[in-house]
Chain A
Amino acid sequence: MTNHWVDIKNADLVLIMGGNAAEAHPCGFKWVTEAKAHNKARLIVVDPRFTRSASVADVYAPIRAGTDIAFLGGVISYLLANDKIQRDYVINYTDASFIVREDFAFNEGLYSGYNAEKRAYDKTSWEYEIGADGFAHTDPTLAHPRCVINLMKQHYSRYTPEMVERVCGTPKEKFQQICQMISSTSTTTRAMTIMYALGWTQHSVGSQMIRCAAMVQLLLGNIGVSGGGMNALRGHSNIQGLTDLGLLSNSLPGYITLPFDREQDYEKYVAVRSQKPLRPNQMSYWQNFQKFFVSLQKAWWGDAATAENHWGFDYLPKIDKLYDMLQVFDLMDQGKMNGYLAQGFNPLAAAPNKAKMTAALSKLKYLVVMDPLVTETSEFWRNFGVHHDVDSSKIQTEVIRLPVSCFAEEDGALVNSGRWLQWHWKGAEPPGEARTDIEIMAELYTRLRKLYQLEGGAYPDPILNLSWRYIHPNKPTPEELAKEYCGQALTDLLDPKDPTKVLRKRGEQLAGFGELRDDGTTLSGCWIFCGAWGPNGNLMARRDNADPTGIGQTLNWAWSWPANRRVLYNRASCDTNGKPFNPERMLVAWNGKQWIGSDTPDYKVDDDPSLGVGPFIMNQEGVARFFARGNMVEGPFPEHYEPFESPLGYNPLSRNEPRAVSNPAARIFKADRDALGSAAQFPHVATTYRLTEHFHYWTKHVRLNAITQPEQFVEIGTALADQIGVAAGDRVRVSSNRGHIEAVAVVTKRIRALNIDGKTVHTVGIPIHWGFTGLARPGYIANTLTPFVGDGNSQTPEFKAFLVKVEKV
């Protein structure tokens, strides 16, 4: 979330799309209710199903799953055509005026530089015109035909209300009514918030759906303001924290990326990431990259990370390609992986195409599962009849299962969707011999270290030299670890302006990432968390809920990254002179000497507005980007592509380009392409989702939840039910080209048939929560059905739009 849960109450308009907050984030959705009741807010819900969120919306519009870019592109087109944009904001705080290179082009769904064989683009032309001084050319009058905003206008002119209706199945009048409501927030005093979740991320064009919505928000001046923002409602309680800590194949903590093979030279690795400003006077905060990187290496390798060995640069593995989950399970299925560790994660249930997953796990030599509960993954080798039919004797995988404590049995911090790091406390001991993840990982490490000390082995240096300063090596405390990822001075830190002054004493916690240094005198395992455990103690444990301004900024409740800032980009809530656009909901303001307000300014606190430093301080441009340059694999502007399993089989927006039916730059493995189904065999569009009573595959182990939603079901509309002769309560078989499930049919008016380009398309709703272990009635794993293809950028699987057939059993 750019903003946070409580801030939703300040919205004038709420758009819920790609999510169903009332169902999946109920206690956060309360703030929508609050905005409606006390801020006269209106709620719009766009979803294939008339959801629980829709049931309290002012306006609901249906949409075909997987076509959100067509809808949002239509909104952009409407805003530009009717001049419903916040002009000052767009001109000063976005790249609207930047001029794009002459060789950039777009034609029939493909951008310049496409290589069909590689399914990838040469992105050279996706760039601004850069002058000899290294700065991008701009035209503040917006007259130049290649200004970003003019290219955008041209691009989205194809997204007419008629096209939206054809692609999405959303009635034209409904669509226009929504555009008109959204456009009302282009004024400086009205804000719209957008709330989305996995309904946007789990598509082959998921990242671009989210970008497209962010572009709508930028046109309206709704980013960085109270009651606005792009608010990702994250799934798990600490998925935000683990992402921040970089537990992803190509990442390090704090959004630092690992080196590629070609980056053999440390200086070049740093130079590429220390991005220089593209316009005069811009902060381009990543210029400080080396301070963050060196402080991380000092946290991990201590005294062994030295200037001479480039702070242990070679201790880090280099990447030749992305080893994301889908890639890894594909390698596993090819027999190229030997071992796998699943910590609090149930991939057999959570990954697409269960048959492929079962085959892949069966090829492992060893599997280690650490979990509080009996997951399907840990029992993949066992026969559970129709729900999981395997022959144990043929599965040669050695499995070790380790019992782990749960939330109630440990201290520590979680990062919520609003980026708050909240400390929690242990209330009891774990059952039996269960241990914490920390203890397990620590003992695993000390045992490996001992084996390498005794026996030697492949490149032992990063293992032997790992900094392990914990008082009890097999039981580091959460406090020790939190202090380490936050940051400490390794020597007395002197004031560069007055070397007689000691800013931080050796061993003292740092107050923020501004204190980090690139000479090895500070450590910080995750620079964006620096200051959470500061010189004054553990700020994550703060529990003062005072809200002096009344707009919900409880700055002394826990701690939020970065720098306890609650609303990202909040400098953009003021005009160029530093005056709040909306004084009623002031976040920050310039008082003539410094920036003050109800939030930590997302800006240098004493930078005079007349210097013209842009509010998007992490970007080289200093402003927000409509034009993604080379940052996305499939193009600088989001374009509609059909899901990999499309009920149409063509892309109405680029009818004559067969290579642009689905995301032309998304990776798909050959066997998985062959496993895709066609509309002729599987005519219905399926989408998976959560129910309020359950959480993924855990709560079927929880008695109360197993009672409230005991049995697997699927939802179909009355029209489809009539067509296939199914009544409510009948059992149905839902199949895709990858397998089938059987469940009780819920027949409902809440799912309507859609008219897509003249064709009737039915949606099938598939809740995900059942499996072959647990206290609820045994069921089929919903991901038996889903396709093994991911978003072009994040590789998040396409769970939200695929093809099935429904039959009565």
Chain B
Amino acid sequence: MSDMTRRQFLAITGSTLAGSSLALLGFSPGQALAEVRQFKLSRATETRNTCPYCSVSCGLLMYSLGDKAKNATQSIFHIEGDPDHPVNRGTLCPKGAGLIDFVHSPNRLKYPEYRAPGSDRWQRISWDEAMERVARLMKQDRDANFIAKNADGQTVNRWLTTGMLAASASSNEAGYITHKVIRSLGVLAFDNQARV
């Protein structure tokens, strides 16, 4: 294995659970495997990211096929720890090591869906229908229940009958715009995972 680079070594062994289990089963990563990997990685696009799970926020390198050209669709086929990252230095735990399966999980949602009152099934709808409906439901509720003044006549400008829980793995930018929009509506029933 002396002719492998550090990155290839990490890709195959220590950094991924799949890799280490292979080694445990007796399939020590041989020359041939390393060669295949090298070929695939070398024509891949490398993108820096961070693990979305815990707050160690390990640095990641994501490898995708497709070269970011306008007419090519990228698809990520491998994710590993970023060896330059000062915190994780290339390592990932079993969660980070499985991230590729999160990206491609069969349970990823792909289309807007609607469940009617009393129904036992989903029905696929368009984004236009979905957003139209959400905006209408929210406006109806806000207009009917907005409290401009409390019982003492004080200005309070709040809307209490609709609430929101915000993501805590989404980006600052998503969090910021979510807060800006939701607070402008007067919502107080608003929290994120930090409450739990």
Flag whether A699 is at the interface (Cβ < 8 A).
yes
Near B by CB (< 8 A), chain A positions 252-294 give 252-253, 258, 261-262, 264
Binary flags per residue of A19-40, CB closer than 8 Å to B gives 1, else 0: 0000011111011000000000
Given contacts A28-B87, A249-B191, contact A428 B64 (CB under 8 A): yes
- Chain B residues whose C-beta falls within 8 Å of the C-beta of A702 in the assembled complex: 98-99, 101-102, 105
Contact indicator A422/B172 (Cβ below 8 Å)? no
Contact indicator A393/B155 (Cβ below 8 Å)? no
Flag whether A490 is at the interface (Cβ < 8 A).
no
Near A by CB (< 8 A), chain B positions 63-108 give 64, 66, 73-76, 79, 81, 84-88, 91-99, 101-103, 105-108
- Chain B residues whose C-beta falls within 8 Å of the C-beta of A658 in the assembled complex: none
Flag whether B180 is at the interface (Cβ < 8 A).
yes
- Chain A residues whose C-beta falls within 8 Å of the C-beta of B48 in the assembled complex: 424-425, 543
Instruction: Name the contact of A414 in the complex, choosing from B142, B171, B184, B185 (C-beta under 8 A).
Output: B171
Most chain B beta-carbon neighbours within 10 Å: one of A370, A393, A775: A370
Contact indicator A407/B169 (Cβ below 8 Å)? yes
A-B residue pairs in contact (CB < 8 Å), sample of 7: A246-B179, A249-B189, A338-B162, A392-B118, A400-B133, A414-B50, A416-B87
- Chain B residues whose C-beta falls within 8 Å of the C-beta of A314 in the assembled complex: 155, 157
Nearest-Cβ distance from residue B86 to partner chain A, whole angstroms: 5
Bound CA–CA A216/B190 (angstroms): 34
Near B by CB (< 8 A), chain A positions 5-50 give 5-6, 24-28, 30-31
Bound CA–CA A337/B164 (angstroms): 11
Nearest A residue to B48 via CB reads A425
Contact indicator A708/B189 (Cβ below 8 Å)? no
Contact indicator A448/B139 (Cβ below 8 Å)? yes
Instruction: Name the contact of B103 in the complex, choosing from A408, A424, A547 (C-beta under 8 A).
Output: A408
Nearest B residue to A368 via CB reads B134
Bound CA–CA A634/B118 (angstroms): 45
- Chain A residues whose C-beta falls within 8 Å of the C-beta of B141 in the assembled complex: 338-339, 365-366
Nearest B residue to A296 via CB reads B180
Contact indicator B165/A241 (Cβ below 8 Å)? no
Contact indicator B96/A27 (Cβ below 8 Å)? yes
Instruction: Name the contact of B191 in the complex, choosing from A324, A412, A543, A701 (C-beta under 8 A).
Output: A324
Contact indicator A704/B101 (Cβ below 8 Å)? yes
Instruction: Name the contact of A249 in the complex, choosing from B52, B64, B159, B188 (C-beta under 8 A).
Output: B188
- Chain A residues whose C-beta falls within 8 Å of the C-beta of B165 in the assembled complex: 325, 340-343, 345, 347
Given contacts A27-B93, A261-B150, contact A399 B193 (CB under 8 A): no
- A-B pairs with lowest CB-CB distance, top 8: A344-B167, A432-B110, A412-B171, A704-B98, A403-B109, A458-B146, A339-B162, A416-B57
Flag whether B45 is at the interface (Cβ < 8 A).
yes
Instruction: Name the contact of A341 in the complex, choosing from B84, B148, B164, B184 (C-beta under 8 A).
Output: B164
- Chain A residues whose C-beta falls within 8 Å of the C-beta of B119 in the assembled complex: 392
Given contacts A233-B55, A239-B168, A343-B178, contact A398 B115 (CB under 8 A): yes
Nearest-Cβ distance from residue A22 to partner chain B, whole angstroms: 10
Contact indicator A241/B175 (Cβ below 8 Å)? yes
Binary flags per residue of A760-771, CB closer than 8 Å to B gives 1, else 0: 000000000000
**Interface segment out of the listed A119-127, A478-486, A750-758:** A478-486
Flag whether A117 is at the interface (Cβ < 8 A).
no
Contact indicator A340/B162 (Cβ below 8 Å)? yes
Near B by CB (< 8 A), chain A positions 225-252 give 233-243, 245-250, 252
Instruction: Name the contact of A247 in the complex, choosing from B54, B105, B139, B178 (C-beta under 8 A).
Output: B178
Instruction: Name the contact of A417 in the complex, choosing from B57, B91, B111, B114 (C-beta under 8 A).
Output: B57
Instruction: Name the contact of A317 in the complex, choosing from B45, B105, B145, B188 (C-beta under 8 A).
Output: B188
Flag whether A516 is at the interface (Cβ < 8 A).
no
Flag whether B43 is at the interface (Cβ < 8 A).
no
**Interface segment out of the listed B1-9, B32-40, B124-132:** B124-132
Contact indicator B109/A404 (Cβ below 8 Å)? yes
- Chain B residues whose C-beta falls within 8 Å of the C-beta of A425 in the assembled complex: 47-49
Given contacts A323-B163, A328-B191, A433-B112, contact A704 B94 (CB under 8 A): yes
- Chain A residues whose C-beta falls within 8 Å of the C-beta of B94 in the assembled complex: 26, 692-693, 704-705, 708
Nearest B residue to A452 via CB reads B139
Bound CA–CA A327/B141 (angstroms): 20
Contact indicator B55/A240 (Cβ below 8 Å)? yes
Contact indicator B195/A317 (Cβ below 8 Å)? no
Instruction: Name the contact of A695 in the complex, choosing from B79, B95, B139 (C-beta under 8 A).
Output: B95
Bound CA–CA A245/B192 (angstroms): 10
Chain A contact-residue range equals 35 or more
Flag whether B51 is at the interface (Cβ < 8 A).
yes
Flag whether A781 is at the interface (Cβ < 8 A).
no
Nearest B residue to A546 via CB reads B86
Nearest B residue to A443 via CB reads B131
- Chain A residues whose C-beta falls within 8 Å of the C-beta of B158 in the assembled complex: 317-319
Nearest A residue to B81 via CB reads A27
Contact indicator A25/B137 (Cβ below 8 Å)? no
Most chain B beta-carbon neighbours within 10 Å: one of A245, A315, A417: A245
Flag whether A526 is at the interface (Cβ < 8 A).
yes
**Interface segment out of the listed A156-164, A434-442, A731-739:** A434-442
**10 more CB-based (< 8 A) A-B contacts, given A408-B103, A452-B139:** A27-B91, A238-B167, A249-B190, A345-B192, A399-B114, A399-B115, A412-B172, A437-B178, A442-B177, A481-B176
Instruction: Name the contact of B196 in the complex, choosing from A242, A325, A459 (C-beta under 8 A).
Output: A325
Flag whether A447 is at the interface (Cβ < 8 A).
yes
- Chain B residues whose C-beta falls within 8 Å of the C-beta of A351 in the assembled complex: 196
Bound CA–CA A343/B174 (angstroms): 10
Contact indicator A317/B115 (Cβ below 8 Å)? no
Given contacts A236-B54, A345-B165, contact A476 B112 (CB under 8 A): no
Flag whether A381 is at the interface (Cβ < 8 A).
yes
- Chain B residues whose C-beta falls within 8 Å of the C-beta of A704 in the assembled complex: 17-18, 94, 97-98, 101
Contact indicator A426/B47 (Cβ below 8 Å)? yes
Flag whether B138 is at the interface (Cβ < 8 A).
yes
Contact indicator A337/B17 (Cβ below 8 Å)? no
Given contacts A433-B112, A775-B107, contact A25 B98 (CB under 8 A): no
Given contacts A247-B178, A413-B173, A434-B110, contact A401 B96 (CB under 8 A): no
Contact indicator B93/A775 (Cβ below 8 Å)? no
Contact indicator B190/A248 (Cβ below 8 Å)? yes
- Chain B residues whose C-beta falls within 8 Å of the C-beta of A505 in the assembled complex: none
Nearest-Cβ distance from residue A694 to partner chain B, whole angstroms: 7
Nearest-Cβ distance from residue B97 to partner chain A, whole angstroms: 7
Bound CA–CA A245/B114 (angstroms): 31
Flag whether B10 is at the interface (Cβ < 8 A).
no
Nearest-Cβ distance from residue A482 to partner chain B, whole angstroms: 6
Bound CA–CA A448/B173 (angstroms): 20
Nearest B residue to A250 via CB reads B188
Nearest-Cβ distance from residue B25 to partner chain A, whole angstroms: 14
Contact indicator A451/B135 (Cβ below 8 Å)? yes
Contact indicator B191/A248 (Cβ below 8 Å)? yes
- Chain A residues whose C-beta falls within 8 Å of the C-beta of B41 in the assembled complex: none
Flag whether A554 is at the interface (Cβ < 8 A).
yes
Nearest-Cβ distance from residue A401 to partner chain B, whole angstroms: 5
Contact indicator B170/A343 (Cβ below 8 Å)? yes
Nearest A residue to B181 via CB reads A445
Contact indicator A429/B54 (Cβ below 8 Å)? no
Flag whether A374 is at the interface (Cβ < 8 A).
yes
Nearest-Cβ distance from residue B183 to partner chain A, whole angstroms: 7
Given contacts A445-B181, A775-B106, contact A238 B169 (CB under 8 A): yes
Nearest B residue to A4 via CB reads B87
- Chain A residues whose C-beta falls within 8 Å of the C-beta of B115 in the assembled complex: 381, 398-401
Most chain A beta-carbon neighbours within 10 Å: one of B55, B59, B154, B161: B55
Given contacts A27-B56, A344-B168, A692-B93, contact A441 B112 (CB under 8 A): no
Flag whether A463 is at the interface (Cβ < 8 A).
yes
Flag whether B24 is at the interface (Cβ < 8 A).
no
Given contacts A252-B183, A428-B103, A433-B127, contact A406 B52 (CB under 8 A): yes
Contact indicator B196/A237 (Cβ below 8 Å)? no
Bound CA–CA A566/B182 (angstroms): 32
Binary flags per residue of A441-482, CB closer than 8 Å to B gives 1, else 0: 111110110011001011100110010000000001010011
Nearest A residue to B85 via CB reads A545
